[in-house]
Amino acid sequence: MVEILCFCGSLRQPSYNRAALEATQMLAPDGLNLRMAELGSLPLFNPDLEGPAEVAALAHAMAHADGLLIASPEYAHGISSVLKNALDWLVSDENFPEMPVALINTSPRASHAMAALREVLKTMSANIVEPAYVTLPLLGSALNAVGIAENPKLAKMLQKMLDELKIEIRENPRLSAVQKREV
Ligand SMILES: Cc1cc2nc3c(=O)[nH]c(=O)nc-3n(C[C@H](O)[C@H](O)[C@H](O)COP(=O)(O)O)c2cc1C
């Protein structure tokens, strides 16, 4: 089983980003498991804090992940604080470098946050899987997860994104969590 850890940068209950991730979960083929990380319960990043339980749980999930899938809103041309806080906690996580990352942008106009997110991920030595980057025109659509999964055009885009991520995980020379489990 290939394990994908999902990061949602929005805490809003009817979030388009969460809906896109949940739709992707519904569309995942056999052999691919998508799990949502609980970023909203993380404490604010403080390097003085040692081992908060929520951070340990995130690190544990990272250790078992073969790839990441991130969907996050743009706020004031920046990354959401929820996502940035999680990434700050993961800066020194040994499993982050070379981690294959797929990205969902739920708003075509939100280019600033995506650029900033890419810069942060690059700085953290993640492997941004370009063919697994997808922009979905969800803003203002009123679609929920089921509506996205049942929309043939959107579903096809998400399925292709997962296929590309899966290919990268299979071909990546990094010792992935899949390979670690097989050793
Ligand atoms: C405080 C605030 C600031 C926002 N700033 C931007 C922005 O700079 N650029 C943009 O494209 N959208 C902006 N938006 C719109 C959000 O990105 C949009 O509502 C998005 O759907 C929120 O994500 P969610 O649906 O997953 O909660 C802003 C929304 C809020 C509430």
Question: Look-up: residue for tokens 């020379």?
Answer: 173
DSSP designation for 42: S
Q: pLDDT tens track of the chain, all 183 residues?
A: 999 999 999 999 999 999 999 999 999 999 999 999 999 999 999 999 987 999 999 999 999 999 999 999 999 999 999 999 999 999 999 999 999 999 999 998 999 999 999 999 999 999 999 999 999 999 999 999 999 999 999 999 999 999 999 999 998 756 555 556 555
In short, whether 61's Cβ falls inside 6 Å of ligand 1 is no
Where exactly are the structural domains of the chain? 2-182
The model's pLDDT over 83-122, given as tens digits with 9 standing for 90+, comes to 999 999 999 999 999 999 999 999 989 999 999 999 999 9
Ligand 1 atom closest to Cα of 110?
A: 11
DSSP designation for 35: E
Q: What is the pLDDT of residue 176?
A: 54
Q: Residue 58's closest CA among 72, 88, 37, 27?
A: 37
Task: Measure 40 CA to ligand 1 centroid, in angstroms.
Answer: 17
Query: What are the tokens at 101?
Result: 């990352």
What pairs with residue 102 in β-bridges? 69
**Residue 43 and residue 53: Cα distance in Å, rounded?**
10
In short, whether 75's Cβ falls inside 6 Å of ligand 1 is yes
- E strands present in the chain: 2-8, 32-36, 67-71, 74-75, 78-79, 100-105, 127-135
Q: What is the pLDDT of residue 179?
A: 56
Indicate the class that CATH gives domain 2-182.
alpha beta
Q: What is the pLDDT of residue 177?
A: 59
In short, whether 15's Cβ falls inside 6 Å of ligand 1 is yes
Q: What is the pLDDT of residue 51?
A: 79
pTM of the model: 0.95
**Residue 61 and residue 53: Cα distance in Å, rounded?**
12
Mutate which of 12, 70, 75, 106 for ligand 1? The one with the most ligand atoms within 8 Å of its CB, which is 75
Question: Look-up: residue for tokens 């991920």?
Answer: 121
Q: What is the pLDDT of residue 50?
A: 81
Which residue has the CA at smallest separation from atom 14 of ligand 1?
A: 75
